[in-house]
Amino acid sequence: MKVVSTIRDLQEQLKKAGLSPVGLVPTMGALHQGHLSLVKNALSSCPLVVVSIYVNPTQFNDKNDLKNYPRTIGDDMKMLGEVLREQDIVFTPDDKEMYPEPDTRVFHFGNLDRVMEALHRPGHFNGVAQVVSKLFDMVRPDIAYFGQKDFQQLAVIRSLVKQMGYRIKIVGNPIIREEDGLAMSSRNRLLEPRIRKNAGIIYKAISGAAPMISNLDIPEIEESVINTIESYDGFRVEYFNIVDDTELRHIKSKSEIRKGKKYFGCIAVKAGNIRLIDNIEIPL
């Protein structure tokens, strides 16, 4: 694999390789099996794969979160070295390369940017759109791969592609889970052991939502999931919303269910000091 950290070197390598389709896997490093599944998916369809590793400051609304975000570049390179081919590229730009000037662009995503994560992390999706659009412009991929764990991010990126007219296919990869069901995340390694021990309850609780549908209405189901998780010491639910998968409209009653739409239960939990998100399809 080739490791480059400037746009000039990136584009030179892309040109030299001259292969298509080009697959892009944008990451913030601290790679785990979830990232690896994205990379493997890209490798199976694209003769040229670019993996970017960049902790993007503009998407962090909390300075401490940015400071504490795990950075494990040595392990990341080792992991990628085992799967990438000679021609594939790892792009590791620094802040000056990505933001030679402050990025003042403001994106609008309608309802997608007014619910769930957007309410708890103001400005987050604008930062994601800034960095992802830059990566799209730099790499010009044919296909880009993102994890479905970041459910709302995926919807925002699909909207970004439409708004900007990018001719890029967006692929969402299924969530990869630990043995106890905890969704893999770079942040999991920051969990205190006493919290990690019980963190499987998040998936267990959201998996329990679908079977309740015949007896309970939406608010009671949401409340039950929240209560189950919060019965564990150190776990506080920021939201658990059942939403449709395109507009992310939060349904408040079973009467709002529309045929042909898919619904997902999306959750954010403060587990000790660490914020975790997850989601599950709820067949309604």
Three state DSSP letters for 191-213: CCHHHHCCCCHHHHHHHCCHHHC
Residue closer to ligand PAF by CB (options 59, 126) is: 59
Q: Which of 4, 24, 28, 184 binds ligand PAF (CB under 6 A)?
A: 28
- Say which amino acid occupies 263: Y
27: contact with ligand PAF by CB under 6 A? yes
Residue 240, classified by CB atoms within 10 Å of its CB into exposed (0-12), middle (13-18) or buried (19+), is: buried
Instruction: Give dist(CA 8, CA 169) in Å, integer.
Output: 24
Residue closer to ligand PAF by CB (options 52, 241) is: 52
Active centre residues (catalytic): 35
Extract the tokens encoding 79. 């992991």
Min dist. Cβ of residue 269 to ligand PAF (A): 18
Give the total residue count for the chain: 284
241: contact with ligand PAF by CB under 6 A? no
Q: Which residues within the stretch 34-93 sit at the binding site for ligand PAF (CB under 6 A)?
A: 56, 59
Q: Could you tell me the CA-to-CA distances from 212 to 48, 54, 75, 144, 227 in Å, in that order?
A: 46, 41, 42, 36, 14
Extract the tokens encoding 56. 């993007």
Binding mask 137-176 for ligand PAF (x = CB under 6 A): -------------x--x-----------------------
Residue closer to ligand PAF by CB (options 31, 48) is: 31
Min dist. Cβ of residue 260 to ligand PAF (A): 29
| Beta strand 274-281 pairing with 263-271 | antiparallel
Q: Which of 77, 132, 160, 221 binds ligand PAF (CB under 6 A)?
A: 132
Q: Which of 51, 84, 131, 195 binds ligand PAF (CB under 6 A)?
A: 131
- Write out the residues near ligand PAF by the rule CB under 6 A: 26-28, 56, 59, 128, 131-132, 150, 153
